[in-house]
Amino acid sequence: MRALDWFVFIGWLVSLVAYGLYRGRGTGSTHKYLLAGRTMPWYAMGLSILATQASAITFISTTGQGFVDGMRFAQFYFGLPIAMVLLCATAVPVFHRAKVYTAYEYLESRFDAKTRALVGLIFLIQRGLAAGIGLYAPAVALSAVLGWPDRLVTVIIGLLVVTYTATGGIKALTWADVQQMTMIFIALILSLAVILHALPPHVSVLDALHLAGAAGRLNIVDFRFDLRDRYNLWSGVIGGGFLALAYFGCDQSQVQRYLTGKSIAQSRLSLLFNAVVKIPMQLFILFIGAMVFVVSLFIPSAAIYQPAEAKHLSATPQWPRLEADYRKAFEQRRKIAFEFADSARRHDGSAVEEANRLRAAQQGLNGARQQALNAVAQMHGVSKFDDTNYIFLSFVRSYLPVGLVGLVIGVIFSASMGSTSGEINSLATVSVIDIYGRFLVRNRSDTHYLLASRLLTVFWGAYAVAFATFGSRGFGALIERVNIVGSLFYGGLLGVFMLAFFCKRVGGTAAFIGVLAGEAAIFSAAAFTDVSFLWYNVVGCVVVVGVGLLVALKSPRDCVEESVGSSSIR
């Protein structure tokens, strides 16, 4: 990056942290620190919920997904609007009226302390793991662009996040998320404008759409039913719907957002906002990736998008042959792409034949690029090397004007901060409310628990940084599975809340056993079947509910009547 890019990059990060600190003033009590005093408006909660999901992994990987596989990844979110409507009718009023700090606090009033502790620990395990992965993955990608060691990027992100999250609590991070999401939308629009401007002069936007469609990059909906396929209509609506119900209804990182609302109506509006905005936003990001692909049809790009690995490969004896094969395949594909664009404008019936030729040429280029990727994998002694996460960053560095490069990199950098801040804040909340204040140190002053909340925020921030740093040495493969991590646990969480809301005859022991059985079923499905991970959420939920009901039928109800106020922190 050039001087202006660095100025914009640093200026954006400083302004984001400063704004968060400014808006986080006045958090002098546990209630204000963890729930913002329940004063947040719907739009702030809605944008914060959106920002927690729009991590740097999403920003970087989704564009790469659109580049290599088209827009069918959007089906992942098709169940989300349905889930949001259901949660507005169930979870939002239940949690608000119970006046709880966490979703798991409600489980003790409904079941018992052991069920609350078990589910709280499950959340800490899965969200703690996700926090480390979510911090490490973008740090590796950004380090290649910034020229910094990935550990340094990890530490900087962690320090910035802890600075405003530990100081201002959820109020600070919520308003920082509002600023961040506003800038993300601006950066996305500007990026698409630059992409379209990079098209050859005689290739129109309509031509670009025809090319993307012919290459299979605009394939949004797949109606085939296949349990092994991650992205089709059925896995998205059913599996994705269960995942969304669990994520927004049972994951404290999301529940805590709408618990800060002024009223039930405001919290409902925040979820409905996400129901309306999330899918169009994902489609837009995927479309940017598809348009980057169209630009790459005409403008030469590197065979390897990861710059450090590309440099290492270029120094090997096999590189001249690999490069020659790639360039030959590229030139052939570019020639056919121009011919397809001409035939599409002529409407002479030859477009179908040219589309088939374009797809064949694309397969040839994919084969040449795969040889280069295999060569990198061989250099490191691994079975596979994937540089999809570097595709959009490569475009940013090559085509965006000075200043805008710094802005987009800054936005991606802060997206990692936004998702991480939400995660460590929720981890600290569950640690204080569901573990520390409930089982370890009870009936202390509010000042005591406020200090514990700040210290545990720092602890979880340090944990995320340490995990990410260690991850660069041994957990690289987990990055490819970041979307799977949640599905290993969310089915169990969703099942126990289904029992809590709708199965009043089920007691604490039945729910406890049901959760254990559900998690066992999920991990068994992951280990012994090739079912797509989205279906884990369905499997886990069904097993928890089924086992819980069976145990309840064989034993009397063993929990106290539902009550409010099970926490010692008030």
Q: Are 279 and 81 in contact (CB under 8 A)?
A: yes
Report field, pTM of the whole predicted structure over 0.95: no
Q: What is the pLDDT of residue 95?
A: 93
Q: How far apart are CA 219 and CA 113, in angstroms?
A: 48
Q: At what angle do helices 240-250 and 80-89 cross, to 10 degrees?
A: 40
Number of other CB atoms surrounding residue 276 within 10 Å: 13
Cβ–Cβ under 8 Å, residues 201 and 338:
no
Residue 473 has pLDDT above 60, yes or no: no
Q: pLDDT tens across 105-130, in order?
A: 999 989 999 999 999 999 998 888 87
Q: Average pLDDT in the 481-485 region?
A: 64
Q: And the tokens for 222?
A: 């797949």
Q: Is the predicted pLDDT of residue 524 greater than 90, yes or no?
A: yes
Q: Which residue has the higher pLDDT, 26 or 516?
A: 516
What's phi and psi for 40, nearest 5 deg?
-80, 140
Output the six-digit token pair for 275: 């129901």
Over pLDDT 90: what percentage of the chain? 38
Tell me the pLDDT of the chain averaged across its residues: 85
The answer to whether residue 238 scores a pLDDT higher than 80 is yes
Helix residue ranges per DSSP H, 503-559: 508-528, 534-554
**Closest C-alpha among 362, 361, 358 to residue 339:** 358
Q: Is the predicted pLDDT of residue 96 greater than 70, yes or no?
A: yes
Extended beta strands in 280-323, E state? none
Residue 141's pLDDT is what?
67
The pLDDT value recorded for residue 564 is 45
Q: What is the DSSP string of 485-519?
A: HHHHHHHHHHHHHHHHHH-TT--HHHHHHHHHHHH
188-197, 284-293, 389-398, 515-524: least confidently modelled range:
389-398
Give the tokens for residue 509: 């022991």
The confidence score (pLDDT) of residue 481 equals: 58
Flag whether pLDDT at 348 surpasses 90: no
State the Rg of the chain over Cα.
25
**Residue 476: band (very low, low, confident or very high) from pLDDT cuts 50, 70, 90:** very low
Q: What distance, in Å, lies between the first and last C-alpha atoms of the chain? A: 50
* Averaged pLDDT, 19-28: 80
The residue extents of the domains of the chain are 3-295+399-554, 311-382
In sequence order, which ranges of 443-481 are alpha helices (DSSP H)? 446-474, 476-479
Over residues 265-275, the mean pLDDT reads 94
Residue 474 binned pLDDT confidence (cut-offs 50, 70, 90): very low
Q: What is the mean pLDDT of residues 199-203?
A: 87
Average pLDDT over residues 496-507: 91
User: Given pLDDT bands bounded at 50, 70 and 90, which one contains residue 566?
Assistant: low
Report which listed range, 261-270, 346-355, 529-538, is most confident.
Answer: 261-270
Predicted pLDDT at 477: 39
pLDDT for the residue 562:
44
Q: Which of 8-12, 184-188, 263-267 has the highest mean pLDDT?
A: 263-267
Q: Is residue 40 classed as helix, strand or coil in its secondary structure?
A: strand
DSSP state letter for 245: H
Which range (36-50, 202-216, 349-363, 548-562) has the least confidence? Answer: 548-562
Q: Determine the average pLDDT of the residues in 28-44.
A: 90
- On the question of pLDDT at 93 being above 60, the answer is yes
Q: What is the pLDDT of residue 101?
A: 93
Residue 40 has pLDDT above 50, yes or no: yes
Residue 345: its H or E element:
helix 319-346
Residue 565 has pLDDT above 50, yes or no: no
Band of pLDDT at residue 52, cut at 50, 70 and 90 = confident
Pick the CATH number of 3-295+399-554 from 1.20.140.10, 1.10.3110.10, 1.20.1730.10, 3.30.70.141: 1.20.1730.10
Give the pLDDT score at 478.
41
Other beta carbons within 10 angstroms of residue 462's beta carbon come to: 14
* Contacts by residues 1-6 (CB-CB < 8 Å, ≥ 24 positions apart): 1/145, 1/146, 1/397, 1/405, 1/406, 1/409, 2/402, 2/405, 4/402, 4/403, 4/406, 5/402, 5/403, 5/405, 5/406, 5/409, 6/406
Question: If DSSP codes are grouped into helix, strand and coil, which group holds residue 271?
Answer: helix
Q: Is the pLDDT of residue 18 over 90?
A: no
Tally of CB atoms within 10 A around 206? 11
Residue 556 burial (CB count, 10 A): 7
Across 150-164, 341-355, 438-452, 543-557, least confident range? 341-355
Task: Indicate the range of 48-57, 85-94, 178-187, 261-270 predicted with least confidence.
Answer: 48-57
pLDDT band at 479 (very low <50, low <70, confident <90, very high): very low
| Cα distances (Å, whole numbers) of residue 324 to 135, 299, 329, 331, 366 | 37, 16, 9, 11, 14
Partners of 261 in the β-ladder: 40
pLDDT at 482 exceeding the cut of 70? no
pLDDT higher for 407 or 515?
515
305 three-state secondary structure: coil
Asked whether the beta carbons of 240 and 78 are under 8 A apart, the reply is: yes
Q: Tell me 440's DSSP state.
A: I
